[in-house]
């Protein structure tokens, strides 16, 4: 009935993955068991968390050898034996790195394509691993208020770009950290950050101090490592600063020996707090987030640059591109 091209885990990753860790094959879908659907993938999100499924040391459950690489995506239902799903419906969820997903739809979200909003926005500004993660970390966890100074690491990536724009829309002074002059220019000229710090040029702690002389009140961290320490050293001394830990891409190369912050005592010294979060634990607030993000999209006050790679067979290359920092904004694969 359908030919599914899928990317699977061929070998477990050591340090950062390589192309040798992945395989690609075509598998025929000849029938749709009762209660299942087939979703033809439109856009798949390439996210940093996928690295943590490729070996034993990850935060997420390890994939099995031969298992299709996990990835969130959006697509159209092309076959259904489920009473609640019809051909032509659109679905968002864990479609995995494949052209056609045969699955039980219990974990999927039925989506309505709004006029003026591209389907790819559902894995970008409206996606759980991108826009919703940004909203939850900044607002539900970071409790950002108008007038505060917000620092964002990994700011030129998908989540970071959304955080910058959400914070600006709520009246914050926003500083983004990225690697390289081109990404820093992108942050200030396209994303709307008030200032950008190039972690590849000079001392990051000193650069934060220069751009936020009174200290930072909210830090949204996607990177961890030394940059987290630099932020800790620049928390507002008068107290009340918050750090939201979203990820730590600087540590994903060696998950067996993750390096924690050395300056965590700044939290006590400055009456600050640091919280990690898993976005799915805040599902009760997703409708609130979707409403706000959708309004910003329609008004043109939030836009996420999309870096699209064509062909699901190129999903491994896209994933390696992500870890090498060779993209701007939202990195996706058109299946």
Q: For residues 79 and 87, is the Cβ–Cβ distance under 8 A?
A: yes
Question: What span, in angstroms and rounded, lies between the C-alpha atoms of 2 and 90?
Answer: 18
Torsion of CA 134, 138, 140, 145, to 10 degrees: -150
Please report the beta strands in the chain, taking only residues with DSSP state E, as ranges in sequence order.
2-9, 22-29, 37-45, 73-80, 90-93, 100-103, 109-111, 149-152, 173-178, 195-198, 218-221, 242-245, 273-276, 306-310, 330-334
Q: What is the pLDDT of residue 257?
A: 78
Which three-class secondary structure state does DSSP give residue 251?
A: helix
Of 1-5, 259-263, 325-329, give the lowest mean pLDDT range: 325-329
Contacts of 67 (CB under 8 A, 6+ apart): 8, 9
Q: What is the pLDDT of residues 94-103, one digit of tens each?
A: 999 999 999 9
Tell me: pLDDT of 60 over 70: no
Measured between alpha carbons, how far is 148 from 235 in angstroms, rounded to an integer? 12
Proportion of the chain above pLDDT 90, given as a percent: 81
Q: What are phi and psi of 121, to 5 degrees?
A: -65, -20
Q: What is the mean pLDDT of residues 299-303?
A: 92
Class of domain 131-280: alpha beta
Residue 280 has phi, psi (to 5 degrees) of -65, -20
What is the topology classification, in CATH, of domain 2-124+305-334?
Answer: Quinone Oxidoreductase; Chain A, domain 1 (3.90.180)
Q: Do domains 2-124+305-334 and 131-280 have the same CATH topology?
A: no
- Sign of the Cα torsion 141, 146, 151, 157 reads positive
Average pLDDT of the chain is 93
Where is average pLDDT lowest: 24-28, 42-46, 69-73, 249-253?
249-253
Q: How far apart are CA 274 and CA 10, in angstroms?
A: 37
Residue-wise pLDDT for 200-248, tens only, equals 999 999 999 999 999 999 999 999 999 999 999 999 999 999 999 998 8
Domain range annotation of the chain: 2-124+305-334, 131-280
Q: What confidence score (pLDDT) does residue 329 get?
A: 86
Gap between the Cα atoms of 134 and 279, Å rounded: 9
Please report which confidence band the pLDDT of residue 250 belongs to, taking 50, 70 and 90 as the band edges: confident
């Amino acid at each position: 009935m359908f030919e599914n091209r899928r990317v699977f885990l061929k070998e477990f990753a050591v340090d950062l993955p390589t192309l040798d860790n992945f395989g690609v094959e075509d598998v025929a879908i000849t029938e749709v068991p009762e209660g299942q659907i087939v979703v033809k993938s439109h856009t798949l999100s390439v996210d940093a968390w996928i690295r943590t499924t490729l070996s034993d040391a990850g935060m997420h459950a390890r994939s099995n050898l031969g298992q299709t690489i996990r990835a969130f995506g959006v697509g159209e239902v092309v076959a259904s034996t489920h009473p609640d799903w019809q051909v032509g419906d659109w679905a968002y969820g864990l479609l995995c790195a494949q052209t056609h997903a045969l699955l039980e739809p219990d974990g999927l979200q039925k989506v309505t394509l709004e006029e003026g909003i591209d389907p790819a926005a559902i894995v970008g500004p409206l996606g759980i691993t991108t826009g919703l993660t940004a909203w939850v970390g900044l607002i539900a966890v970071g409790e950002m208020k108008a007038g505060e100074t917000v620092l964002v690491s990994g700011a030129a990536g998908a989540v970071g770009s959304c955080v910058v724009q959400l914070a600006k829309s709520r009246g914050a002074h926003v500083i983004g950290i990225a690697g390289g002059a081109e990404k820093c220019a992108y942050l200030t000229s396209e994303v709307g950050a008030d200032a950008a710090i190039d972690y590849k040029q000079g001392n990051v702690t000193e650069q934060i101090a220069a751009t936020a002389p009174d200290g930072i009140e909210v830090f949204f961290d996607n990177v961890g490592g030394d940059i987290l320490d630099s932020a800790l050293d620049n928390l507002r001394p008068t107290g009340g600063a918050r750090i939201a830990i979203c990820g730590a891409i600087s540590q994903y190369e060696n998950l067996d020996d993750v390096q924690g912050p050395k300056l965590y005592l700044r939290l006590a010294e400055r009456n600050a707090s640091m919280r990690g979060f898993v976005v799915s634990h805040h599902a009760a607030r997703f409708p609130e987030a979707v409403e706000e993000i959708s309004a910003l999209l329609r008004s043109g006050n939030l836009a996420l640059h999309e870096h699209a790679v064509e062909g699901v067979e190129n999903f491994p290359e896209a994933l390696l591109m992500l870890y090498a920092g060779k993209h701007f904004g939202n990195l996706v694969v058109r299946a």
